[in-house]
Amino acid sequence: MLNEFKKFAMRGNVIDLAVGVVIGAAFGKIVASLVADIIMPLVGLLLGGIDFAKLSITVGKAQVMYGQFLQTVVDFVIISFSIFLFIRLINRFKKKEETKVEIVKVDRQEELLSEIRDLLKAKNNETS
């Protein structure tokens, strides 16, 4: 079982996933700081000095921290939009790559057809 686990853990996909998780966690912390320390204070200032982190409603003895929830929603929107832009950029590069491959294939086909045409012409000239 140990060898099987080692084989699983050393596969490229698992290592790539682990790197992605670590980078994602660090990116999440950066975005959380951006939202909590820069964006939300500016939004609060624009709305009359409201501190979103401290917004809450007391229901009975429970305190509902809806300000924290709003901050988390803004975090999510920024992270998901950033990921969207990153994936869009990657897809753009892939499309360019696919276009280059198609152009090379078309050029090779044209080259082969030209060779066949030339061979047929040469054969016709020999028999004439």
- 2-92 CATH fold: 1.10.1200
Task: Answer yes or no: are the C-beta atoms of 56 and 69 closer than 8 Å.
Answer: no
Task: Note the pLDDT tens digit of each residue in 4-13.
Answer: 877 776 776 7
Q: Considering the chain, what percentage of its residues have pLDDT values greater than 70?
A: 89
* pTM value surpassing 0.75: no
* Per-residue pLDDT, 25: 86
Size of the chain in residues: 128
What is the mean predicted confidence (pLDDT) over 14-40? Answer: 82
- Going by C-beta distance under 8 Å and a sequence separation of 6 or more, which residues neighbour residue 63? 56, 57
